[in-house]
Structure 1
Amino acid sequence: MAGVVHRYHRLGRRKYRERMYAKRAKPLAQYTTEELYAHFRFGRHDIKYIADLVRPKLQHKTKRSHALSVEEQCLIALLFYASGTFYQVVGDNMGGDKSTVSNVVKAVSVELASLVNEFVSFPKDDQMAQTKRSFFLLGNMPNTIGVIDCTPVHIQAPHEREWQYVNRKWRHSINVQLVANADLIITNCVVNWPGSVHDARILRESALYRKLHAYPLLPWLMTSFPVAHTPEQAGFNSAHCKTRCTIECLNGVLKRRFACLNYLRVEPKVACSIILACIVFHNIATRYNVPLDDIYDGPEPDEVQPEDAIVSSHFCLCLAKIWYTMPQRAASHSSL
């Protein structure tokens, strides 16, 4: 018993060593507005707005263990989205370790993904007229309510069902379906299919397809002619090509603004949350006219690409497509 008491007193005399924390960066206080745009893709007021969106779920109740503020969590996630670099590099820049960055990116992405329906919505009846007018002014294509395309987001080889994520270019990816309006606002998205799944199946299985297919006016999805035999067909192809460039420009802007979408070193489930978070951020940035330093240089409107000639009896095989509301394709051709 004496020995036990003796050891206790010896331990009790040890000095408490204060835990040391890495010094964290304070970008909101240290960076200029231009530097914030360059590093995080958003300005000071935009970042505060984003922080308020996720604050209810990400706000820590106490400062125990030097807890990160919501603004710091958002900045860490934004730096990762914008740069697409390793978690360790993000941590070195923000004053955190790799595991902290990983946890923050996942938490912020999941919370933003849950808000996707608030920021991504298909035009309602009272918005249809303006949407059609914008597309007509853009490419002389009447009655267009959206452009649709699938774009691959490359990921590292997953640990489970790896073969399902290999796309036609033999790279692992998530196949993301996007619908956009003439202002590059994403109005519908499907982010849950592996890269091996064809664009046509993703469309057929989507809720938007079921909704629009119920309309009495069909066909409502337009593709270009493989070969234009008449001036009317050539005019239709030209208008289709100019309008189609909208979705190609969107894909370029999205991946240029958020470089992480060029390659994600995470498992598919986390990758889908990150993609949805970037879609939400893109719509916020577009609606609030957040500047994009690196402008996407897309194809010329009249440039005909090989994919436009891929047409079969199924109306949605072509890689770039246009939502359309005319009851007869021939009628639409003759009107151009």
Structure 2
Amino acid sequence: MDCIEFIEHFIETPPRRNIKDRLNPFENFTEEQFRERFRFRKDSVLQLLGMISSDLEHGTNRNHCIPPILQLVTTLRFYAAGHFQRTEGDLIGIDQSSACRVIHRVTRAIATRHEQFIRFPSNQDLNNVKFHFKNIAQFPGVLGAIDCSHIPIKRPSGDNGELYRNRKGYF
């Protein structure tokens, strides 16, 4: 065995990278399927993307980075379904560690804009808000609602009090 054969014997060739095809949910899902999976309409997601895309690293084409739109839908899917990061990554075609970084990055980008979306009614608006909630379902004293969060309350009085019992057994 000559010197070159000896060296080649011990030099390993680098492993080939396995690049996954990434699913584009805008192309692969109808509007209804998209909303079922991400709890947003496509146009709403594009509007949100316009607000935060400058905060999402895109990198170069050379390193097969995750485009901002896929970062956003991965995060929205994680919010909507509450699955493990690996599950959300598998839907889009990224691994768990990438899904973790993406979810953290997108969450931070959205949270920095909280003042645009979250506000408590001013003193002038409080009575107006209470009035509108009472008109919706005869539910007095309500100042706001949080989607999908059940906050325990005392049993409302009256004939309809039992209607406010949730699936977990409390009001």
Shared fold per TM-score greater than 0.5? yes
Q: Which residue of 1 aligns with 2:63?
A: 65
Taking the aligned partners of 1:78 and 1:301, their CA distance within structure 2 comes to 29
> Quick one: structure 1 residues 62 and 113, their matched pair in 2 at CA, closer, same or farther if it must change by over 3 Å?
same
Alignment map for 1:142-161 (pairs within 5 Å) = 144=141, 146=143
- Higher RCO, 1 or 2 (CA under 8 Å, sep at least 6)? 1
Q: 5+ residue gaps in structure 1?
A: 147-179, 187-198, 200-222, 227-235, 243-298, 309-336
Taking the aligned partners of 1:17 and 1:307, their CA distance within structure 2 comes to 56
- Aligned AA for 1:22? K
Taking the aligned partners of 1:135 and 1:34, their CA distance within structure 2 comes to 29
Taking the aligned partners of 1:97 and 1:111, their CA distance within structure 2 comes to 21
Cα RMSD between the aligned structures?
3.7
Taking the aligned partners of 1:80 and 1:20, their CA distance within structure 2 comes to 24
Give TM-score scaled by structure 2 length. 0.72
Instruction: Work out the number of aligned pairs and report it.
Output: 158
> Quick one: structure 1 residues 23 and 185, their matched pair in 2 at CA, closer, same or farther if it must change by over 3 Å?
same
* Equivalent residues of 1:238, 1:302 under 8 A apart: no
Q: Runs of 4+ in structure 1 displaced over 6 angstroms?
A: 14-18
**CA deviation map 1:174-225 (0-9, x unaligned):** xxxxxx2xxx368xxxxxxxxxxxx9xxxxxxxxxxxxxxxxxxxxxxx96x
The sequence identity of aligned pairs, in percent, is 22
Residue 22 (structure 1) shift: 0.7
Residue 121 (structure 1) shift: 0.5
Taking the aligned partners of 1:302 and 1:38, their CA distance within structure 2 comes to 26
Alignment map for 1:197-208 (pairs within 5 Å) = none
Q: Which residue of 1 aligns with 2:77?
A: 79
Q: Which residue of 2 aligns with 1:39?
A: 37
> Quick one: structure 1 residues 302 and 39, their matched pair in 2 at CA, closer, same or farther if it must change by over 3 Å?
closer
> Quick one: structure 1 residues 15 and 135, their matched pair in 2 at CA, closer, same or farther if it must change by over 3 Å?
closer
Residue 114 (structure 1) shift: 2.2
Q: 5+ residue gaps in structure 2?
A: none
Whichever structure has more strand as a proportion of its residues is: 1
Q: Which residue of 2 aligns with 1:53?
A: 51
Taking the aligned partners of 1:302 and 1:85, their CA distance within structure 2 comes to 27
- Aligned AA for 1:40? F
**CA deviation map 1:15-41 (0-9, x unaligned):** 998744111101101110011011111
